[in-house]
Amino acid sequence: MTQPVVGISGFSIYLPPFRVDLRAWSEWTGANWDKIRSVVGTGFRLLGPGQSVYTMAANAVLQLLRNYDIDPGRVRYLALGTESSTDNSAGAIIIKGMVDSALQANGMPPLSRHCEVPEFKHACLGGVYGLKNALRFLLADADDDSVAIVVSADKALYRQGSSGEPTQGAGAVAVLLERNPRIARIDLREAGTASDYRGVDFRKPLINRNGTGASPEFVDIPVFNGKYSTSCYIDECQHALEDMYARRGLKAGEYLRGLRAAFLHRPYRRMPESGWSMAYLFALAGGDDSDHQELQVYCSKAGVDPQALLAELRQPPRLSEFASRERIGEEVFPLSLAVLREFRRDPAFQDIVKAKLRLGAEAMCELGNLYTGALPAWVAAGLTEAVETGEELAGEEILMIGYGSGDAADAMPMHIVPGWQEAARAIRFAEALQPVVELNHEQYQAIRERGEAAQLDYQPHGEFIVERVGAESAASFQDAGIEYYRYVQ
pLDDT tens, position by position, 261-286:
999 999 999 999 999 999 999 999 99
Summarize pLDDT for 107-163 with one digit per residue, the tens: 999 999 999 999 999 999 999 999 999 999 999 999 999 999 999 999 999 999 999
**Count of helix runs (H) and strand runs (E) in the chain:** 18, 17
Q: Mean pLDDT across the stretch 90-103?
A: 97
Check residue 199 and give its pLDDT: 87
The whole-angstrom separation of Cα 422 and Cα 338 is 45
Average pLDDT over residues 245-274: 97
Measured torsion, CA atoms of residues 160, 35, 351, 387, in degrees rounded to the nearest 10: 60
Q: What whole-number distance in Å separates Cα of residue 11 and Cα of residue 427?
A: 5
- Banded model confidence at residue 214, pLDDT cuts 50, 70, 90: very low
Distance CA 313, CA 282 (A): 6
Provide the pLDDT for residue 316: 87
The Cα–Cα gap between 457 and 388 comes to: 32
Q: Rounded mean pLDDT of 210-226?
A: 65
**Residue-level pLDDT at 381:** 98
> Does residue 321 have a pLDDT over 70?
yes
More confident call, 190 vs 216 = 190
Instruction: Read off the amino acid at residue 255.
Output: Y
Mean pLDDT of the 276-299 span: 97
pLDDT tops 80 at residue 219: no
Burial 323-358, CB ≥16 within 10 A → b, else e: beeeeeeeebbebbbbbbebbeeeeebeebbeebbe
pLDDT grade for 431, boundaries at 50, 70 and 90: very high
- Whole-number mean pLDDT of the chain? 95
Q: What is the pLDDT of residue 445?
A: 94
Give pLDDT, residue 215.
43
Q: CA-CA distance, 93 to 117, in Å (whole number)?
A: 6
pLDDT of 190 over the 50 cut? yes
Is the pLDDT at 216 greater than 50, yes or no?
Answer: no
The pLDDT value recorded for residue 206 is 76
**pLDDT of the residue at 414:** 98
Are the CB atoms for 118 and 159 separated by under 8 Å? no
Q: What average pLDDT does range 14-18 have in this prediction?
A: 98
Check residue 221 and give its pLDDT. 87
pLDDT at residue 374 above 70? yes
Residues of the chain above pLDDT 90, percent: 91
Model pLDDT for residues 56-84, shown as the tens digit of each residue: 999 999 999 999 999 999 999 999 999 99
d(CA 482, CA 462): 23
pLDDT digits (tens, 9 = 90+) for 333-348: 999 999 999 999 999 9
Q: Give the Cα separation of 58 and 14 in Å (integer).
A: 9
Structural domains in the chain, sorted by start: 6-488 (3.40.47.10)
**How confident is the model at residue 1, as a pLDDT?**
65
